[in-house]
Amino acid sequence: MTIELQATVDALVQKGKGILAADESGPTIAKRFKAIGVESTEENRRAWRSLVLATPGLGQYVSGVILYEETLGQHGDDGEPLPQLASRLGIVPGIKVDTGKCPLALAPGDEITQGLDGLAERLEGYKRQGARFAKWRAVYNVADQLPSRAAIEANAEALARYAAVCQAQNVVPIVEPEVLIDGSHTQSRCAEVTQAVLHEVFAALHRHRVALEHMLLKPSMVVPGKAHAMQAEPAEVAEHTLRVLRRTVPAAVPGINFLSGGQSPAEATANLNALNRLGPQPWRLSFSYGRALQDTAMQAWQGQKTLAQRAQQALLKRARLNGAASLGEYDASLETAE
């Protein structure tokens, strides 16, 4: 078990590379497609995700891709299974395994993530289709009284149970506790919530005997709510985020791949760069972005096959900029360069 898990971790945590989150649920990708005037049909979703995975050179900056269940069974234009296409290009295929969130009973404003029932059996099938790692997302709404202690504990328990089941199946778990950017809360309140959440998550992982060396963490950065009047500069984001991580995340965790969580593509890249500019940390700090990697490419695509190459170039550019940011070598002037 250890050898297989270690091999997957080593493949994912490569210097100068990050993870592409292409696991949008049906409703989410429908919303993204609607913004560019494209209907969310099975064929259009296949065409988009095939275009993404077939991007020449993407493997230089992307070590893994999180897929939606539907995508595991889809094929490229030439008939090659999409997970196999990713693997051939040096990108490790992974799978989103949670089944979404719902209100937490008797806790107004809090949510809990579902999907533990039958998880081991589903993972067996996903592995046969080529998946080597998995992802489970918990979400935390932030307000003066949110999240509640009950929500912090319940989501930590679910994340830890998921991670333990994954490792028992020789699948590397990505643990994603997302402190949501929605709201008008301060950066300090975000830091307070993030610290409480991560502390509880790692306590639960310890209880469930999850090997920290064989998992990855996908947290949100410590930022003010997007409705707050004062937004933070990258240096402030980096300082607050690292302070919380140092207090809560054991050095045994090999990699921290941040989610973009509603930041613009340029913001997500600049903030990641600032984090890596603060010098070596116990963990590899990189990205696991969805919208922040794909948005400009999707705008370029517009659902038209003739624009596929233009879309791939836009995706490759964002991947390259984030690869540089994961090394602390991003130059903002490159945003406008062709």
Annotation says 317 is catalytic = no
Euclidean distance between CA atoms 319 and 89, whole angstroms: 15
Euclidean distance between CA atoms 272 and 287, whole angstroms: 7
Strand-pair category, 101-103 with 92-96: unpaired
Query: Strand pairing partners for 255?
Result: 216, 284
Of 24, 157, 176, 267, which is the active-site residue?
176
Euclidean distance between CA atoms 73 and 161, whole angstroms: 26
What are the residues whose beta carbons fall under 8 Å from the beta carbon of 153, sequence distance 6 or more? Answer: 200
Number of Cβ within 10 Å of residue 327's Cβ equals 16
Of 178, 218, 267, 317, which is the active-site residue?
218
Q: Are 291 and 261 in contact (CB under 8 A)?
A: no
The runs of H, that is alpha helices, within the chain are 2-12, 26-35, 42-53, 69-72, 82-88, 119-128, 149-168, 187-207, 234-248, 265-277, 291-301, 308-325
Euclidean distance between CA atoms 100 and 22, whole angstroms: 15
Annotation says 176 is catalytic = yes
Active site residues: 176, 218
